[in-house]
Structure 1
Amino acid sequence: MDLRIFTEPQQGATYDDLLAVAKATEDLGFDAFFRSDHYLTMGGDGLPGPTDAWTTLAGLARETSRIRLGTLVSSATFRHPGILAIQVAQVDQMSGGRVELGLGTGWFAQEHAAYGIPFPEKRFGILEEQLAVVTGLWGTPVGETFSHEGAHYTLTDSPALPKPVQQSPLDPSRAGVPVIVGGSGPRRTPALAARYAAEFNLAFPAFDEIADKLANVDRALTEAGRAPESLVRSAALVLCAGADEAQVARRAAAIGREVDELREHGVAGTVDEVVDRLAWLREQGLSRVYLQVLDVHDLDHLDLVAREVVPRLG
């Protein structure tokens, strides 16, 4: 089971706060540091204000050496796909080939209004076209050009540069970074993942729905003629672990949540409970979990999981 640390900086975090979490992530042996891509808090004052996801990851690319880095997820409404392809390829170069791109439709209308970003009612077609453009730009051989004419974007004779350091997991003969696609829809999103993604992610799923949602992905892979083992299946879930009940309660209070609710919806409880939950998620077919860390100043939380949970997962 791969465990990745996942942060929500729009809730209130400086770059230095995120750097501390990323360095702890690396030092403690976790697989990756990921962050959300949002520009507005979802509760509280959000001070000191948002940080841009790809600016943050560029900095972390130079200040870490092992962990993978990425977004869960960037909104297709935030950046033109041509610009996004350049940004991600550059950060991949800066990191020595450790970047992954999570990309989704976007959902938070208020942050778009707050910063003057258009928020069309229908966005799935935008996401689909962005995936085609971004992967197309990366995968175009050096010396050739890329053109695209679609409903939302037109690119003409692009040199399709720069290239990522990595090769596409779907076609190792071409450049590309692992793409993460997620969503709850039964057909369209799984089909999109089967076409473009190295990983399919469930964001905060109800536990009793995981098996059905993964079955939808399996069906889409079969329809696309793609091997089931070629797609990583993951979930993002809130983390609230403690050495004892008192510590669990303190950590729940620090993020404004109830312990019982966290146990019902997240990776929460004592060490034994957290180990059991992660083992159960693995039995459901997940091979990766993004542990959502909401208190970025509680680095002891990460240390507890690294010392007491990870060794018991095998």
Structure 2
Amino acid sequence: MDLRIFTEPQQGADYDTLLTVAKATEDLGFDAFFRSDHYLRMGAADGLPGPTDAWITLAGLARETKRIRLGTLMTAGTFRLPGVLAIQVAQVDRMSGGRIELGLGAGWFEEEHKAYGIPFPKEKFGRLEEQLAIVTGLWETEVGKTFSYEGEFYRLTDSPALPKPAQAKVPVLIGGHGASRTPRLAARYADEFNIPFGSIEESERQFGRVRAAAQAAGRAADDLVYSNALVVCVGKNDAEVARRAAAIGREVEELKANGLAGTPAEVVDKIGRYGAIGSSRIYLQVLDLADLDHLELISAQVQSQLG
């Protein structure tokens, strides 16, 4: 089971904070550092000192880390034109020496679009499908050849399809709970399918849909990695769990029901249950980025037991 650290910087984190967490992620043996792609806080957080851009952040981290993989859960398709996104991700992949992964979603948080003057189209899923076709098509085009695309939302004419990523294939992540269109899109474009904040039962159903869609598309279901993203709150004892839950404004029982919360033994047991239904990678949503002791505990007493 791979454990990855997943952050939500829009809730309040500057680049230096994210760099500190990314370096701890690397030093403590986690597989990857991922971040959300949002420009506006959610809930009661003050959001100070303000948002950071996902791909500018990852470009900086690409130069200041050496081993961990880096990526987004999920880049909002509404924020960037697909041709520009393909250039950005390819460049950051080269800056990292080939450690980048692209999670791409349709975009959903209308308020952040209003706050920063970003168009929020009604038809987002169709745009996402074209974006995936364009980004992957640009990367797959042989050097010296051009790429053209004629869609309902985007048109590219004789693109040189440069630069190329350092990796021969940048892993593409698609996720969500949609019952039909999402599995079909994952079957066509994804290297990994991720379920955000889903129960074991929900995850098992959705993994089954994606596996069936892959097979219907003539693809082996096991070609994809299946993963979950879950909030994490671990403590050596009940008092420490309660303290960490209070620090992020959550209730312990709610976290235990909907995330990975409790003592290391409790969390290892629940991760094992996700593994039993096909998940091989967990994105640990860490909400208190100042609590590096939390990461050390997870590394020493959770990750060490997973093999």
TM-score normalised by L of structure 1: 0.97
What secondary structure does 2:302 align onto? helix
Of 222, 225, 236 in structure 2, the residue corresponding to residue 232 of structure 1 is 225
Of 281, 290, 303 in structure 2, the residue corresponding to residue 288 of structure 1 is 281
Q: Corresponding residue for 1:159? A: 160
Q: CA shift at 1:229, angstroms?
A: 1.6
Q: Corresponding residue for 2:142? A: 141
1:214-264 per-position Cα deviation (integer Å, ceiling 9, x unaligned): 110111011011112210000100000000001000000000000000000
Q: Corresponding residue for 1:305? A: 298
For 1:35 and 1:272, the matched residues in 2 are separated by 27
For 1:296 and 1:233, the matched residues in 2 are separated by 26
Amino acid in the other structure paired with 2:301: E
Amino acid in the other structure paired with 2:9: P
Q: CA shift at 1:206, angstroms?
A: 2.6
Q: Corresponding residue for 1:206? A: 199
8 Å contact from structure 1 (residues 70, 99) kept in 2: yes
Q: CA shift at 1:71, angstroms?
A: 0.3
1:79 aligns with 2:72: no
1:98-144 per-position Cα deviation (integer Å, ceiling 9, x unaligned): 00000001110000000011111221000000000000001100000
For 1:166 and 1:148, the matched residues in 2 are separated by 23
Q: Corresponding residue for 1:22? A: 22
For 1:218 and 1:199, the matched residues in 2 are separated by 11
Structure 2 residue runs without a partner (length 5+): none
Give runs of aligned pairs for residues 1-314 of structure 1, distance below 5 A.
Answer: 1-43=1-43, 44-168=45-169, 177-314=170-307
Of 145-154 and 52-61, the range deviating more from structure 2? 145-154
Q: CA shift at 1:154, angstroms?
A: 0.7
Runs of 4+ in structure 1 off by over 2 angstroms are none
For 2:223 and 2:114, the matched residues in 1 are separated by 39
For 2:124 and 2:302, the matched residues in 1 are separated by 39
For 1:299 and 1:8, the matched residues in 2 are separated by 15
What secondary structure does 1:125 align onto? helix
1:16-63 per-position Cα deviation (integer Å, ceiling 9, x unaligned): 000000000000000000000000000222000000000000000000
Amino acid in the other structure paired with 2:229: A
For 1:138 and 1:189, the matched residues in 2 are separated by 22
For 1:15 and 1:193, the matched residues in 2 are separated by 32
Amino acid in the other structure paired with 2:306: L
For 2:116 and 2:153, the matched residues in 1 are separated by 21
Q: CA shift at 1:147, angstroms?
A: 0.5
Q: CA shift at 1:310, angstroms?
A: 1.3
For 1:119 and 1:4, the matched residues in 2 are separated by 30
For 1:208 and 1:224, the matched residues in 2 are separated by 25
For 1:45 and 1:312, the matched residues in 2 are separated by 36
For 1:206 and 1:266, the matched residues in 2 are separated by 8
For 2:136 and 2:201, the matched residues in 1 are separated by 34
Amino acid in the other structure paired with 2:287: L
Tell me the matched-pair count: 306
Identity percentage of aligned residues:
68
Amino acid in the other structure paired with 2:103: G
For 1:21 and 1:40, the matched residues in 2 are separated by 21
CA RMSD of aligned residues (A): 0.6
For 1:70 and 1:153, the matched residues in 2 are separated by 25
For 1:32 and 1:47, the matched residues in 2 are separated by 25
Q: CA shift at 1:208, angstroms?
A: 2.3
1:61-87 per-position Cα deviation (integer Å, ceiling 9, x unaligned): 000000000000001100000000000
8 Å contact from structure 1 (residues 207, 265) kept in 2: no
For 2:291 and 2:91, the matched residues in 1 are separated by 31
